[in-house]
Structure 1
Amino acid sequence: MLKKLNIIVVCALVLFSCKNTKKDQALNSASTSETTRPNVIYIMADDLTTQAISAYGGIYKDIAPTPNIDRIASEGMLFQDVLCTNAICGPSRAAILTGNYSNRNGYYKNESGGKFDIEKWTFPQEFQKNGYQTSLFGKWHLGTEPQGFDVFKYHNSAGQQGHYWDPVYNMNGEDTKLEGYSTNLSTDFAMNWLQEGRKKDAPFMMVLQYKAPHRPWQPDTKYEKLWEDIEMPYPDTFNDDYKGRELTAGDTEMTMDYFSRRDMKFEEPANLKGKEKIKWAFYGAKSGEIVQPEGLSREEGKKWRYQTYIKDYLACVKSVDDNIGRVLDYLDANGLTENTIIVLTSDQGFYLGDHGFFDKRFIYEESIRMPFMVKYPKLVKAGSVNEDIITNIDFAPTLLDLANIKTTQQMQGKSFKSMLSGKTPKDWTQAMYYHYYEFPYWHHVQPHYGIRTQKYTLAHFYYNIDVWELYDLEKDPSQMNNIINDPQYSNVIADLKNQLKDLMKISGNDKSLADFRMITDTDFGSIVDHKDDETSVQDVLTGKNN
């Protein structure tokens, strides 16, 4: 009898032990699943362009290398054909956050574009809803308070453009002015949150968005004279005469003639205030106001302005690269590299003297093409390259897909997760629809829409002109020759126009030109609420306060 009792007790203990073991295994599995969900760090610099990143090659790669940004590419995937659907800061950010074109997210323009709708769904909200710790540091530039972030600290001065030195940050609802250089300060916030602000047993999604290298291109003190003794090379298209594009590329205010005294680092006279201060600083931004040292010829002045600009711009990029290195080193030192998705991009491309320009806006390659690279050792083969056409509305669905987050939210963008492992879907569209609406302020770039395929760019400039342009990107990668009237391309033009019509219909933006012009003409409001006693830069430059 005793023997039987012992057997029963032993069996019971074994069963209890098995149940507990299974329970522990389930708990451990849940815990492991939670902590092994990939972390995401999305890094976006403002106006950073492929020409300034040495991983993409180009004329500055040996003079101004970007070793830390290049690490992301060399240890991950470099994308060669990621394109912006509306190449200007705020609208691009809205497209990235929502996965939708401007006509669906409602944010068309920077100037008189109003504020981003706080009720709109954005991908950080989905991460937060699915158990991710979320944070935002640096530039926001959308006018309304960021949604979907547990912690945010964003630039909140100069119309949310921010300042390079001693910037004001909105820190979870409270404005605070700090001493220091903004690129370093934004990274300090990010590093502090990674080290002390987050829980270590849950995944995180961090958005780190630098002001740099946006205008007015003010380098950190240690880099102010980095290339003082050398002459930077000039792009091949620096002296573009805009033949065949006189009414479009040839009629803008973004050439080397439109740099201001502030851009060129002229010393401001003491005691200037209000309108006079703005007029002095922005002299040069209007036609006929040429800023250069006395005694220089027009050609010498153009080169002098370019040299000042490009050295300051690349010096700002140098600080961005340094600070990205801080983030990468932290991940390596803390065992987070394998399980963290790193994305590096910009809000669009930028001109570095190409075609004699600075700024962005056009459907042309330098402004539409975004730097983009992804590092994720669990999925992405080191040193891989992708050449498919991808757009900024594809970012949100891809990030959610990588985190295995399912959503019912409708997005016009599509996930390109499979491309990260080298597999392009057979039905992937190798063409994109572009539309730029803002005019005439800033920079006097004609509103236009178009289609960009892997071989061609076709664009229609429509506001107060009616001009079509076509470029064969294989024969003319610099887009110097508008071949719209070349009879050899008549069939190509007809096919591209049909494709463009289909893309506009799919996007829900197959409106009339009158409707498009109305969007350009509509004042949707300001990104910030100006005080009554403030004088806006636009009012000064357009003469409204004279």
Structure 2
Amino acid sequence: MQAISKTFSLIFSTLFLISCAEKKKEVQTENQTRPNILFIMSDDHAYQAISAYSDHLIQTPNIDRIGKEGIVFTNACVTNSICAPSRATILTGKHTHINGKVDNLMPFDTTQVTFPQLFQKAGYQTAMFGKLHFGNNPKGVDDFMILPGQGQYINPDFITQNGDTTITGYATHITTDITLNWLDKKRDPNKPFMLMYLHKAPHRPWWPTPEKFKEYYGKEFPIPETLFDDYSNRGSAAKTAEMNLLTHMKYVYDTKVWPETIANMGTVTPEVPDLVNAFNNQYNRATEEQKAQLKPFLDAISKDFEENWPSKTDKEKMIWKYQRYMQDYLACISSVDDNVGRVLDYLDENQLAENTLVVYTSDQGFYLGEHGWFDKRFIYDESFKTPLLIRWPNKIKAGITNEEMVQNLDFAQTFLEAAQIEIPDDMQGESLMPLLTSNEEKWTRDAVYYHYYEYPAEHQVMRHYGIVTVDYKLAHFYYDVDEWELYDRKKDPREMNNVYADPAYAEVVRELKIKLEKLRVQYKDSDELNQHYIDLHESRMAKTH
């Protein structure tokens, strides 16, 4: 009996081990077929400042590499061109009027399900590092270190599960260090991962590292053809927006002239104390060693300003501000590109690249002097369009471009389908998988919907909604005006001429208005909902004042 018992025990043990081995094999096979997701996003990174789109300003070899090994979308765009609303749309796969985050101040509807929650529930290991921009406790992530609010470039604070911490260094480098440390030390190799790697840069006020200051200060960049746009062929919105380089870009806060220099000159109106304090607070975050590295460049800027500004014409002043802006903005992007390269190299060196879907994007576009502007918010291309480069070896053919109208609204569904996770019925985007896998015939969208709400507010960009196709753009500006604008995107790519009233475009206007109303119904937007958000905004403003 004892011998028989031992035999059965041996058989049972053998079967158990075989079963465990088979289950482990099944898990490994499952994990190999479910890709890792690496979502890389910068803040306010204009597509014009990525050499995969145009190399007239800067070379970005590491970001370009994603596109060279995958796909570059040339008509990627956002639903609402402002930071927190864009991020809420990305996380939920829903327009901002549905998730509640219509502007930077309106609260996010925390009952909304985000795609990281679905990944976490489906067995993915999830993490988020860098700039979220709303909320201090992101849902659906196993590990996070996020910048509070806008975050700081120099010696930034971070919010973690274990409380707040300050890390000495530069935000772009630190966010990358945290990301690489997680990949190397905290990642569970038996699970696929969904990792959000989110840069503060190149958000205003554009503080480069001393090394990048040295490289970029004094460089001259090509002047946009529309830098001196007078908005003569457009409506009230373009004429009244407050983001002109000459008029609205700040001497101290933005171009980094010492406050004392402005005060001593007496010929330049001093900036309001809040902006001077914001500059001082940023600089004073630096250690004495860091200040010693930054000071020579700040001294040089101030010396140039003091000696040359008073004698400049308005045109020359506009160009001076543009060059200062580009020097700092592009220096910040250069650091982002360097650090993206570090992460891509890590994937290659650790055999993770083959099964990782890598995305590079921004939360929206940005003006780099086009039409005389900085910032974003408009439905016009520089603001509305966003960079989007995606790599997925063996799934996406290398080196292709696509001009279909895709949006940040589509990211959640795309990632969920790629990971074989069920997509909730209430998400409003469309998975990009047909475009990623060369099944374009399955892609049916021919127009996208846009709606901007934050007005009256900073930069004074009027409320508007609209429809955009590959060929045309129709926008309705409302609230304190009732104006329509139409642009022929093929004949007028710089959007200089509103042809809404041109009889030659009457049929285009008629057809687009019909399509626009259908989109508003499809996405559950309406004039009543507009009024609801107007009432909330006015109530909030009344309490503030």
Q: TM-score range by the shorter chain?
A: 0.7 to 0.9
1:529 corresponding residue in structure 2: none
SS for the counterpart of 2:383 is: helix
The worse-fitting range, judged by mean Cα deviation, of 28-37 and 259-268 is: 28-37
Q: Does 1:463 align with 2:479?
A: yes
Could you report, residue by residue, the CA deviation over 1:496-534 in whole angstroms, capped at 9, with x for unpaired residues? Answer: 0010001001111122464453354342999xxxxxxxx
Of 73, 82, 89, the match for 1:79: 73
The answer (yes or no) to whether the contact 2:172–2:336 under 8 Å persists in 1 is yes
Could you report, residue by residue, the CA deviation over 1:379-408 in whole angstroms, capped at 9, with x for unpaired residues? Answer: 111101121111111100100111111144
**Amino acid in the other structure paired with 2:60:** T
The worse-fitting range, judged by mean Cα deviation, of 506-515 and 92-101 is: 506-515
The answer (yes or no) to whether the contact 2:218–2:327 under 8 Å persists in 1 is no
The worse-fitting range, judged by mean Cα deviation, of 514-523 and 381-390 is: 514-523
Q: What does 1:254-403 align with in structure 2 at a 5 Å threshold?
A: 254-256=243-245, 257-260=247-250, 261-269=252-260, 277-280=273-276, 293-403=309-419
In the alignment, the residues of structure 2 paired with residue 17 and residue 448 of structure 1 have an alpha-carbon distance, to the nearest angstrom, of 69
SS for the counterpart of 1:338 is: helix
Relative to structure 1, is the Cα distance of residues 424 and 165 closer, same or farther in structure 2, using a 3 angstrom cutoff? same
Q: Does 1:114 align with 2:126?
A: no
Relative to structure 1, is the Cα distance of residues 245 and 276 closer, same or farther in structure 2, using a 3 angstrom cutoff? closer
1:201 Cα deviation after fit: 1.6
SS for the counterpart of 1:54 is: coil
In the alignment, the residues of structure 2 paired with residue 499 and residue 420 of structure 1 have an alpha-carbon distance, to the nearest angstrom, of 26
1:500 corresponding residue in structure 2: 516
The worse-fitting range, judged by mean Cα deviation, of 384-393 and 321-330 is: 384-393
Relative to structure 1, is the Cα distance of residues 194 and 279 closer, same or farther in structure 2, using a 3 angstrom cutoff? closer
1:300 Cα deviation after fit: 1.0
Contiguous gaps of at least 5 residues in structure 2: 1-6, 264-270, 280-304
1:208 Cα deviation after fit: 0.7
Of 189, 195, 200, the match for 2:178: 189
1:32 corresponding residue in structure 2: 29
In the alignment, the residues of structure 1 paired with residue 429 and residue 341 of structure 2 have an alpha-carbon distance, to the nearest angstrom, of 30
2:426 corresponding residue in structure 1: 410
2:154 corresponding residue in structure 1: 165
In the alignment, the residues of structure 2 paired with residue 432 and residue 506 of structure 1 have an alpha-carbon distance, to the nearest angstrom, of 11
Relative to structure 1, is the Cα distance of residues 321 and 525 closer, same or farther in structure 2, using a 3 angstrom cutoff? farther
1:118 Cα deviation after fit: 2.8
2:123 corresponding residue in structure 1: 131
The answer (yes or no) to whether the contact 1:114–1:523 under 8 Å persists in 2 is no
In the alignment, the residues of structure 1 paired with residue 221 and residue 118 of structure 2 have an alpha-carbon distance, to the nearest angstrom, of 45
Could you report, residue by residue, the CA deviation over 1:222-256 in whole angstroms, capped at 9, with x for unpaired residues? Answer: 00132334321011111111012241111111111
SS for the counterpart of 1:164 is: coil
In the alignment, the residues of structure 2 paired with residue 487 and residue 183 of structure 1 have an alpha-carbon distance, to the nearest angstrom, of 51
**Amino acid in the other structure paired with 1:436:** Y
**Amino acid in the other structure paired with 2:35:** P
In the alignment, the residues of structure 1 paired with residue 425 and residue 177 of structure 2 have an alpha-carbon distance, to the nearest angstrom, of 34
In the alignment, the residues of structure 1 paired with residue 318 and residue 130 of structure 2 have an alpha-carbon distance, to the nearest angstrom, of 33
1:210 Cα deviation after fit: 0.4
The answer (yes or no) to whether the contact 1:35–1:201 under 8 Å persists in 2 is no
**Amino acid in the other structure paired with 1:267:** W
1:95 corresponding residue in structure 2: 89
The answer (yes or no) to whether the contact 2:217–2:328 under 8 Å persists in 1 is no
SS for the counterpart of 2:520 is: helix
In the alignment, the residues of structure 2 paired with residue 224 and residue 91 of structure 1 have an alpha-carbon distance, to the nearest angstrom, of 31
Contiguous gaps of at least 5 residues in structure 1: 1-9, 284-289, 527-538
Relative to structure 1, is the Cα distance of residues 189 and 482 closer, same or farther in structure 2, using a 3 angstrom cutoff? same
Relative to structure 1, is the Cα distance of residues 323 and 525 closer, same or farther in structure 2, using a 3 angstrom cutoff? farther
The worse-fitting range, judged by mean Cα deviation, of 33-42 and 165-174 is: 33-42
The answer (yes or no) to whether the contact 1:98–1:120 under 8 Å persists in 2 is yes
Relative to structure 1, is the Cα distance of residues 145 and 18 closer, same or farther in structure 2, using a 3 angstrom cutoff? closer
**Amino acid in the other structure paired with 2:120:** Q
Identity of aligned residues (%): 43
Q: What does 1:508-523 align with in structure 2 at a 5 Å threshold?
A: 508-512=524-528, 514-515=531-532, 517-523=534-540
